[in-house]
């Protein structure tokens, strides 16, 4: 009985791990910087994301989880629609307008995402 419970727990954990997207979908060999006003913000799990209107197009920038954003002083009072953000990160391999941010700068303050 205990063995079955352990097996179920392991399978449940594996399912949760696969539900979260991996960072391998982003191309770390092609770092880019996106800068512009924030047009939309989503403080949602598993990661905060913003839509940034850059010179070339509108980008989705994937940031850190909410808890990390808050602990680093980048909560909803800082990451707001209308503020200008600069995000350094890696483009998604398949989604042409998405990057995963390693760091962001808002109001002259740089915040590490990882």
Within a domain: 98 = yes
Within a domain: 18 = no
* Domain CATH code at residue 82: 2.40.50.140
Within a domain: 96 = yes
CA distance 71 to 8: 34
Within a domain: 32 = yes
Within a domain: 43 = yes
DSSP assignment of 37-106 equals EEEEEE--SS--EEEEE-SS-EEEEE---HHHHHHTT-STTTS-TT-EEEEEEEEBSS-TTEEEEEEEEE
Q: pTM of the full predicted structure?
A: 0.80
Task: Return the pLDDT at 21.
Answer: 53
Q: How many structural domains are present in the chain?
A: 1
Structure tokens at 28: 């770390």
Task: Return the pLDDT at 18.
Answer: 34
Which residues of the chain have a pLDDT value below 70?
A: 1-22
Backbone angles phi, psi at 80, to 5 degrees: -130, 150
């Amino acid at each position: 009985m205990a063995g079955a419970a352990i097996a179920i727990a392991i399978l449940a954990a594996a399912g949760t791990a696969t539900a979260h997207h991996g960072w391998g979908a982003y191309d770390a060999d092609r770092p880019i910087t996106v800068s512009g006003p924030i047009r939309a913000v989503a403080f949602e799990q598993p990661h905060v994301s913003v839509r940034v209107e850059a010179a070339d197009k509108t980008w989705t920038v994937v940031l850190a989880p909410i808890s990390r954003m808050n602990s680093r002083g980048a909560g909803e009072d800082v990451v707001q629609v209308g503020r200008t953000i600069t995000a350094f990160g890696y483009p998604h391999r398949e989604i042409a307008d998405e990057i995963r941010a390693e760091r962001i700068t808002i109001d002259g303050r740089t915040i590490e995402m990882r």
